[in-house]
Amino acid sequence: MTIGNSPRSRLAFAGPYQVLLQMVLLALVLLSISRIGLMAWQWDRVEPAGSVPWMLLQGVRADLILLGLLLTIPILTAPLFAIGRFAGFWRTFSLVWAAVALTLVIFIELSTPSFIAQYDIRPNRLYIEYLKYPKEVFATLWNGFRVPLLVGSGVTLLLVWGAVRLLKRTAAEQSSWSNKKLWLSWPLVVFLVFACVRSTTDHRPANPALFAITPDALVNSLIINSGYSVIYAAYSMKHEARSTEMYGKISNEDTLKLGLDWPWLRGYQFSSSDMPTLHQQVASVKRDKPLNIVIVLQESLGATFVQSLGGVPVTPELEKLKAHGIWFDQLYATGTRSVRGIEAVTASFAPTPAQSVVKLSNAQNNFTTIASELKQAGYHTQFIYGGEAHFDNMRAFFTGNGVSQIVDINQIKKPKFVGSWGASDEDLFDTAHQQLLELHQAGKPFFSLIFTSSNHEPFEFPDGRIELHEQPKQTVNNAVKYADWAMGQFFAKAMQSPYWQDTLFLVVADHDNRVYGTNLIPVEKFRIPGLILGADVQPQQWDVLASQIDLAPTLLSMAGVDTCHPMIGRDLTVNRDVPGRALIQFDNYFALMQNDAVNPALKQLTILKPDGSAAHASYEQATKTLTLASSEVSAQEKQRALAQVALPSYLYREGKYRADASCTPAVEAN
């Protein structure tokens, strides 16, 4: 962007701020072009959401917030370096700062389409978290997004090259001011930058929630820019110990009272002042010898891919296995990432807007999981994964919280196929089968968590295993069908193995593949399959509304293991006629979902928004339609929903989810 034939002729009035001002103008143009392009791409969702000119104007406002943040350091240091003998240093510093800032803005913005294609929202905290794993991420990008990666990198280099050329011309002609003129103008410049960052005269400064002006989360994210979205995500991660306060205030007393006010929890004695959710769970199934427990956690296997749940028919093996066990018809995931699924399934821990406890520092040791409970009961505990177990901090979380043995790609002998995420699912299940045989022969009860990975972008799997569902080969439907085939091969061998009669199996998804949709919360993308089979399990279908956090207590009860723990998930083996609930975390939105009291075809949601407000919604599963209600949420209803998300945050923050607690009075007195 050339501002006149001579940059100095138009920007000379800015004196030592010329380079920074040109950076702002360039960024505003580039971000606006990007926003218009993204909105055109998603026009079918943008057009019905509201006034596009108004959205674009609000987008410029969000851009000024980002640019104000990027200007903060150079503007605050200007009086020290922009005058006198430091003028040369200031010129170089301004040029380098502006070039780096523009490079980051351009790179993040150009990577946005690929991120939206996967997550249906602009880059957020996931963008930051994945940067911790460059090997896996680059392999995924290279094998699954090679063209966008190369094109994006090339366009980034081209735009940065052009921008730097303009900035160099401006820097070469940048004028300096006298000390007096600089000091007189500096407070005004600081005020302007401050006004850009704050962007409002309200009590609280602007944040992404201010731009959430439509019911569609994707469209709301298009209004802002990706750089701002990523910076705000990083900021939120630094303050996530109390992240639930974005939804509103609630006392610890009300959190415990409302958070535990569920019919299935009222029969327990919560008598520990130190561990308010600690209770004794007596198994509903009495056994002379407790069963082994094996959890098969399927990567990205939502209801989207299960025909009997209204999805694509690419899981025939899972459909066959339904005839051998208990099928969950109304099971919902708590979030959209593997670590969130791990948190819910293995620790029965409810979701919050913070990171999953799998990654949080205070949950890396002595944090309650089903593995820690079973280890105390004398079980051998293990985690089996086809990739590198350190990914997403899984190794540290599991080894610190009850898992005695880690089996990952380093222990898989002569794998038949290795992709970007590690050994194939058939190699994983072959290894798991051998492990279970050896553990059974040892005569000690065991717990094994088997986590698959073949159904993960870029969807790599060996040839000749399945009849492809579609062309080309590397699609999500084909990858799911392969993963299902590999699981079917495993269970065919397991049913003929000596450990089958002594083992309880759970097959469940961590989350769906892609969570997207025009709804404020795409509820249909949180529905997942769940199946319990093995041992003496009789075929049934459970229609009760359930959450992933209900699975661990249910497994413990079915296996015949009496435990003392702080898990608040529901034991679904008893009182299934009592209506259930599901807890959903989607980006910065939290929802409490319950059955409608009158219409069984509907579910009612109380949705908490990051600006502290709340909304009612009705969800019709048959049509996958979420309808926002016009009526306001009562203070009582909002507090009840707020308690569900505040409770896990409180338990984590205060260290009240420990695995070493005992239900004996002597320990409680301490």
322: helix, coil or strand?
helix
pLDDT band at 83 (very low <50, low <70, confident <90, very high): confident
8-state DSSP, 500: G
Mean predicted confidence (pLDDT) in 26-46: 94
474 has a pLDDT exceeding 80? yes
* Pairing assessment for the beta strands 589-595 and 602-608 based on DSSP bridges: antiparallel
Mean predicted confidence (pLDDT) in 15-41: 93
pLDDT band at 1 (very low <50, low <70, confident <90, very high): very low
3 class by beta-carbon count within 10 Å (0-12 exposed, 13-18 middle, 19+ buried): middle
pLDDT band at 71 (very low <50, low <70, confident <90, very high): very high
8-state DSSP, 286: -
Per-residue three-class SS string for 230-255: HHHHHHHHHCHHHHHHHHCCCCHHHH
At residue 244, the pLDDT reads 78
Q: What is the mean pLDDT of the chain?
A: 90
Mean predicted confidence (pLDDT) in 167-181: 81
Element (H, E) at 528: strand 527-533
Percent of residues, the chain, with pLDDT higher than 90: 66
CA angle at 422 for the pair 420 and 423, rounded to the nearest 5°: 125
**For tokens 């009158």, what's the residue?**
598
599 class by beta-carbon count within 10 Å (0-12 exposed, 13-18 middle, 19+ buried): exposed
Q: How far is CA 462 from CA 115, 385, 424, 425, 603, in A?
A: 27, 18, 8, 10, 41
Of the candidate ranges 99-113, 208-222, 521-535, the one whose mean pLDDT is the lowest? 208-222
**For tokens 């969570």, what's the residue?**
515
188 class by beta-carbon count within 10 Å (0-12 exposed, 13-18 middle, 19+ buried): exposed
pLDDT band at 6 (very low <50, low <70, confident <90, very high): very low
Closest CA to 335 of 359, 314, 306, 318: 359
CA angle at 546 for the pair 541 and 550, rounded to the nearest 5°: 105
Tell me the longest C-alpha to C-alpha distance in the chain: 90
8-state DSSP, 367: B
666 has a pLDDT exceeding 70? no
537 class by beta-carbon count within 10 Å (0-12 exposed, 13-18 middle, 19+ buried): middle
Tell me the per-residue pLDDT of 294-329, one tens digit each, with 9 for 90 and over.
999 999 999 999 999 999 999 999 999 999 999 999
How far is 309 from 462, CA to CA, in rounded Å?
28
How far is 15 from 175, CA to CA, in rounded Å?
5
Write the single-letter amino acid at 135.
K
Write the single-letter amino acid at 594.
Q
How far is 388 from 135, CA to CA, in rounded Å?
11
Tell me the per-residue pLDDT of 328-379, one tens digit each, with 9 for 90 and over.
999 999 999 999 999 999 999 999 998 899 988 788 889 999 999 999 999 9
Q: 383-411 in b/e burial notation, b at 16+ Cβ within 10 A?
A: bbbbbbbebbbbbbbbbbbbbebbbbbee
With beta carbons less than 8 A apart as the criterion, state whether 586 and 512 touch: no
Tell me the per-residue pLDDT of 417-458, one tens digit each, with 9 for 90 and over.
999 889 999 999 999 999 999 999 999 999 999 999 999 888
pLDDT band at 545 (very low <50, low <70, confident <90, very high): very high
At residue 138, the pLDDT reads 75
With beta carbons less than 8 A apart as the criterion, state whether 585 and 384 touch: no
In 510-624, which ranges are E strands? 527-533, 540-542, 546-547, 563-565, 581-586, 589-595, 602-608, 614-620
pLDDT band at 668 (very low <50, low <70, confident <90, very high): very low
In 306-413, which ranges are E strands? 325-332, 380-385, 405-407
* Pairing assessment for the beta strands 581-586 and 589-595 based on DSSP bridges: antiparallel
How far is 212 from 224, CA to CA, in rounded Å?
9
Structural domains present in the chain: 7-238 (no CATH), 254-669 (3.40.720.10)
242 has a pLDDT exceeding 70? no
- Residue 270 phi, psi (nearest 5): -95, 85
449: helix, coil or strand?
strand
Of the candidate ranges 48-57, 129-138, 276-285, 487-496, the one whose mean pLDDT is the lowest? 129-138
Closest CA to 66 of 240, 236, 232, 235: 232
At residue 241, the pLDDT reads 53
At residue 263, the pLDDT reads 93
559: helix, coil or strand?
helix
Dihedral angle, C-alpha 348, 342, 364, 560, nearest 10 ° = 50
577: helix, coil or strand?
coil
How far is 410 from 104, CA to CA, in rounded Å?
36
Q: 199-212 in b/e burial notation, b at 16+ Cβ within 10 A?
A: beeeeeebbbbbbb
7 has a pLDDT exceeding 80? no
How far is 421 from 582, CA to CA, in rounded Å?
31
pLDDT band at 515 (very low <50, low <70, confident <90, very high): confident
239 has a pLDDT exceeding 90? no
Mean predicted confidence (pLDDT) in 548-575: 96
At residue 667, the pLDDT reads 34
637 class by beta-carbon count within 10 Å (0-12 exposed, 13-18 middle, 19+ buried): middle
